[in-house]
Structure 1
Amino acid sequence: MEIREQTIAIVTTCGDDWGGSEELWSASACLLKERGNRVVVCKAGLPRKHPKYVQLAKKGVELCDIQLKTSFVRRVVARLIRRAAVWRPNETIPGFAQTATVRQFSKYLSKYKPDLVIVSQGINFDGLGYAYACLRKHIRYVIIAQKAVDFYWPLSTDRNLMKEIYDKANKCYFVSKHNLRLTEEQFGLRLKRSQVIFNPVKISRPVPFPTMEPVIHLCCIARLFILDKGQDMLLRILSKPLWKSMPIHITFIGRGEDEVALRQMASLLDVQNITFLGFKTDINTVWESYHALILPSRSEGLPLTIVEAMRAGRPVITTAVGGNAELLTEGETGFIGGADELSLEAAMLRAWEARDRWEEMGKKAALYVGKMIPEKPERDFVNDLMSMK
């Protein structure tokens, strides 16, 4: 039976107000609403005043904050109840499935009685508690995983229940082949109802390539979070005399919790051929000034910045983590190194030596990504949901 004129709940685990991981579900929410469905979005600490959420609300999407807000008196009473052992968590169920936000989300499930829940995860198991709440209430659910990390595996105490949650999902969506493969390996489970999907992008056509004289400009578009994005590796490379002497400038575009640390590191290492530009919304205008993307990631899903750079007609210098290399061909549309300084610098040197070919490589990148990435990935995603049995 097709899902039509039903209640669709979406729960997101994004810890920031907004991020690239939110683009797919938000675009899908609008499309689902346009098709006559009731759409409810749930998030812990939901920022109602954020422009993206304001836009969703204007389109009729209902917003629910599942972060408990209790008075001082109620917090004291709850603490006393716990100490008196009136309420104890079920010790046979892992903690990830019994958090306060999961319990609050479960209440919203009882209130709205959705026909389907979309669990949008930043990493491949950080939202499974919400999926478990659906499983307990016999509500259909699908899982989106925006990232899987080679060095971050589920706890042994959580793994069996998480495996069951994945196995019983109506469908599991991943943004890269790497994420799907690694998730299967982490849980020792073939996910037969799984699919690789893409996130929507903000660039629809190539942006004219700027002149490369007298300075070559690269940009690093990413959240300033070194554990995932690896900007510290790039700064160490740029601190070497060779790179200080080159006519090259790198701009960091984005914000994040490590911005101060990165600025201070750059000052310590006397790296002067860089700029921290902050967050920019008009990505088309950004690419008018830059010749290539550099992304020194330690872990990824499939970054929107890579797809957008390729669609803008720019080569990409990046690391072979997550799905970074799945759209790139070494020496033709980009340059791929490992997630370490030695290998990343080698990729940067190969790129530098081939800089006269960057414009042509960018044209190839735009043609390739235009064939591989749907114009409206959210439409394909929603169509798949609507035809689900």
Structure 2
Amino acid sequence: MAGNPWGGSEELWNKLALDALQDNHDVECSVFDWGETPIQIKNLNKIGVVIKKRSRFIYPNLFKKPFGKLKEYLIADNQLSDHLNNKDYAIVSMGGFCDLAVKAFRNPLLNTTTPYSLIIHANPEDTYFNYGVLPEMIEVCKKAYKVYFVSERLKSIAIRQTGYTFPNGELIINPLNMESVGVLPYVDDETLQLACVGRLNAKVKGQAILLQCLANKKWQNRNWHLNIYGKGNDLSYFQHLAKSFNIIERVSFHGHVNDIRQDIWSKNHILIMPSYYEGMPIALAEAMLCGRTAVATDVGGNAELIKDNVTGFIAKAANYSAFDDALERAWSEKENWERMGIRAFEDADSYFNYSNYCKNINDVLPQ
């Protein structure tokens, strides 16, 4: 990822690296140098994965952007090219399809003789590219052995963005951080516990929309409590909104938790996911595999997992009006949430555990 040292998109390449090592392959990982190395990467290194670090050159901070551009032009291209050289195969995990619009990512792939596949984790609906970079972006994709997308929606968006139909495009399954799955006992609490799980990032995860919806007058006399899980830079902002909207007494911020089943889904009735964009959200899969229904925006792979009004509720857009409508439909069906959660588990279990989509390193490596 360019914005954070570790996130959901890292879980997949981390698993593939572990799979490859267990199958007695020599494994190297090329990652951005964040100063402090995430514990997951340290653990890979301890068991024999060679870690090579590249200089960061993408910065959200406006004052660092010129410094980043200088590094992009002077060293980033050479570093990635060097890490790709003399390998039997490379799996390039991209936080977003838009990474291919960046010359320092694109050039090494255009010039390498190492065979590679791409993994695309995110691709917002409203992203389009300068026409001048499209030929090279398409060439990188054509040259790839496979272009893996974590949801069909991301592939559809990429086709619209580029005009390339991705005959080498396939779906790949995100790994889940769960030792066991199964429908948990339904929560015995008259106050309906709503869980919002994800990085605290208003521009991506949309928690501000949810807080605004719950501040609506019609929610004042309803018996609910919102539990927000996750870490991120927008914690203080969300706390400010909850106070400003006079709902702070009905909102709890729990930070990051380790035991998803016990710490989240044994205590909550429903997942609320107001995201502006997603790939295939792990939080949604985990909720469904614990037997919980969800309200989610129609972005990324959400509607590929949720059957609207059957296993959950889909907001037709990531905006206040559409999400308010989806929440209202969900509330009117609250007596059916337990039954819908059981159906959600069945669908998610089939998708993640019994489908033929790529899941392991042997599914990804050329045969």
TM-score normalised over the length of structure 2: 0.89
Q: Percent identity?
A: 29
**In terms of mean alpha carbon deviation, does 163-172 or 49-58 score higher?**
49-58
Gap runs ≥5 in structure 2: 58-66
Larger Rg: 1
Q: Cα gap change, 1:99/1:319 in structure 2, threshold over 3 Å: closer, same or farther?
A: farther
CA contact (8 A) 2:292 2:340 kept: yes
Pairing of 1:38-53 with structure 2 (within 5 A): 38-46=26-34, 49-53=37-41
What's 2:76 paired with?
101
Pairing of 1:140-155 with structure 2 (within 5 A): 140-155=115-130
What's 2:194 paired with?
218
Q: Cα gap change, 1:123/1:144 in structure 2, threshold over 3 Å: closer, same or farther?
A: same
Amino acid in structure 1 at the alignment position of 2:99: D
* CA positional deviation for 1:193: 0.8
| CA deviation string 1:94-145 (max 9, x = no partner) | 99985632321222334xx211111111111315743531331211111100
**In terms of mean alpha carbon deviation, does 344-353 or 256-265 score higher?**
256-265
What SS does the aligned partner of 1:351 have? helix
Amino acid in structure 2 at the alignment position of 1:125: C
* CA positional deviation for 1:155: 2.6
What's 1:115 paired with?
88
What's 1:262 paired with?
238
Pairing of 1:59-138 with structure 2 (within 5 A): 59-67=47-55, 98=73, 100-110=75-85, 113-126=86-99, 129-130=104-105, 132-138=107-113
Amino acid in structure 2 at the alignment position of 1:107: D
RMSD: 2.5
| CA deviation string 1:58-100 (max 9, x = no partner) | 221111111179xxxxxxxxx9xxxxxxxxxxxxxx9998563
Q: Residue 287 of structure 1: which of 256, 265, 271 is its match?
A: 265
Q: Cα gap change, 1:341/1:99 in structure 2, threshold over 3 Å: closer, same or farther?
A: farther
CA contact (8 A) 2:115 2:145 kept: yes
Amino acid in structure 1 at the alignment position of 2:306: L
| CA deviation string 1:163-191 (max 9, x = no partner) | 21112111100011110011011011111
Gap runs ≥5 in structure 1: 1-12, 70-78, 80-93
* CA positional deviation for 1:217: 0.4
Q: Cα gap change, 1:379/1:296 in structure 2, threshold over 3 Å: closer, same or farther?
A: closer
Q: Work out the CA distance in 2 between the residues paired with 1:43 and 1:28.
A: 15
What's 1:274 paired with?
251
How many residue pairs get aligned? The number is 351
Amino acid in structure 2 at the alignment position of 1:217: Q
What's 2:11 paired with?
23
CA contact (8 A) 1:145 1:175 kept: yes
What's 1:249 paired with?
225
* CA positional deviation for 1:56: 1.0
Q: Work out the CA distance in 2 between the residues paired with 1:137 and 1:213.
A: 58
What SS does the aligned partner of 1:383 have? helix
What's 1:380 paired with?
359
Q: Work out the CA distance in 1 between the residues paired with 2:164 and 2:143.
A: 12
TM-score normalised over the length of structure 1: 0.84
Q: Work out the CA distance in 1 between the residues paired with 2:98 and 2:342.
A: 37
Amino acid in structure 2 at the alignment position of 1:44: F
Pairing of 1:119-198 with structure 2 (within 5 A): 119-126=92-99, 129-130=104-105, 132-198=107-173
Q: Work out the CA distance in 2 between the residues paired with 1:68 and 1:368.
A: 40
